[in-house]
């Protein structure tokens, strides 16, 4: 039986095929190289973490396969501005529509209204999407190793680098982490949610960080409160990607500020 991730990857290839018919790679490339230089996603996270605070990648998403509707009709620009005002280091903007309710228009709109770097959060399976990300204002792209063979992951990483985009390489277990290291991934995220089973456990981050205390990792998914931040900081984490819990907050700015400033004594 196909998992939720399998189904997403299947339709992602179909989406790319349609996009290529709508706009050629050559036209997209010209648009991409004419955009302003990307903002450094990696540096923004490092600057905050090195200052002793928590570097947050705050996410805009309207729904997800695991949670269903999170905030239907959400205005990504308004939410992105709230995130930036309250101390987020970077943003993550979902551009997958069928499963997450996001679009490339969301990405473009947010880029024009904030000054911090932006991750295009999507399921990358073709270099076309990398060029598309740059053309629409992304500063960083996501590579999900659960969905990629090593050869394709390497190709996508090289393509991103050629367009001066940072790469967040996402892993979920020890095997994927070793694969990321062989790719010489500069920024590695540990997804606490198993995308095949849609189960979330912060112990995933703890386990991988404990096995590799020399690595600087980003903890993703399942982080809801300052207590979660403090728990993960004990394992060396100072960089976090947080989405669903913040989207549900009624006082989003206060919630972000409390997470940014949750520092262990």
Does 265 have pLDDT greater than 60?
no
Question: Which is the catalytic residue, given 84, 132, 170, 206?
Answer: 170
Question: Which is the catalytic residue, given 121, 194, 205, 262?
Answer: 121
**108 catalytic, yes or no?**
no
Q: What pLDDT does residue 244 have?
A: 87
- pLDDT 10s digits, 31-47: 999 999 999 999 999 99
Does 3 have pLDDT greater than 80?
yes
Does 197 have pLDDT greater than 90?
no
Q: Is 175 helix (H, G, I), strand (E, B) or coil?
A: helix
Does 24 have pLDDT greater than 90?
yes
Question: Which is the catalytic residue, given 12, 59, 89, 205?
Answer: 59
Short-list 126, 50, 120, CA closest to 92: 120
Q: What pLDDT does residue 215 have?
A: 95
Distance separating alpha carbons of residues 73 and 227, to the nearest angstrom = 30
CA distances from 242 to 10, 20, 47, 77, 92 (A): 26, 32, 18, 17, 9
Does 264 have pLDDT greater than 80?
no
Average pLDDT over residues 93-120: 97
pTM of the model: 0.96
Distance separating alpha carbons of residues 175 and 190, to the nearest angstrom = 12
Percent of the chain at pLDDT > 70 equals 100
Q: 76-99: b or e for each residue (b if 16 or more CB lie within 10 Å)?
A: bbebbebbbebbbbbbbbbbbeeb
Q: What pLDDT does residue 134 have?
A: 98
Mean pLDDT of the chain: 95
**191 catalytic, yes or no?**
yes
**59 catalytic, yes or no?**
yes
């Amino acid at each position: 039986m196909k998992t939720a991730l399998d189904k997403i990857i299947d339709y992602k290839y179909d989406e790319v095929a349609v996009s290529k018919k709508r706009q050629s790679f050559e036209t997209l490339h010209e648009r991409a190289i004419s955009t302003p230089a990307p903002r450094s996603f990696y540096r923004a996270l490092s600057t905050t973490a090195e200052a002793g605070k928590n570097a947050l990648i705050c996410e805009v998403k309207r729904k997800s396969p695991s949670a269903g509707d999170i905030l239907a009709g959400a205005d990504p620009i308004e939410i992105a501005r709230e995130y930036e005002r309250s101390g987020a280091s970077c943003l993550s903007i979902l551009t997958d529509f069928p499963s997450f309710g996001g679009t490339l228009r969301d990405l473009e709109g947010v880029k024009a209204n904030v000054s911090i770097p932006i991750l295009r959060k999507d399921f990358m399976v073709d270099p076309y999407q990398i060029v598309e990300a740059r053309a629409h204002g992304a500063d960083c792209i996501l590579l999900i190793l659960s969905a990629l063979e090593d050869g394709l992951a390497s190709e996508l990483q090289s393509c991103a680098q050629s367009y001066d985009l940072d790469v967040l390489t996402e892993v979920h277990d020890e095997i994927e982490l070793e694969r990321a290291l062989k790719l010489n991934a500069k920024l590695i995220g540990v997804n606490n949610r198993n995308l095949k089973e849609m189960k979330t456990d912060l112990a995933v981050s703890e386990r991988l960080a404990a096995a590799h205390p020399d690595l600087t990792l980003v903890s993703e998914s399942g982080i809801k409160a300052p207590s979660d931040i403090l728990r993960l900081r004990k394992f060396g984490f100072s960089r976090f990607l947080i989405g669903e819990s913040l989207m549900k907050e009624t006082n989003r700015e206060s919630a972000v500020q409390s997470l940014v400033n949750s520092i262990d004594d």
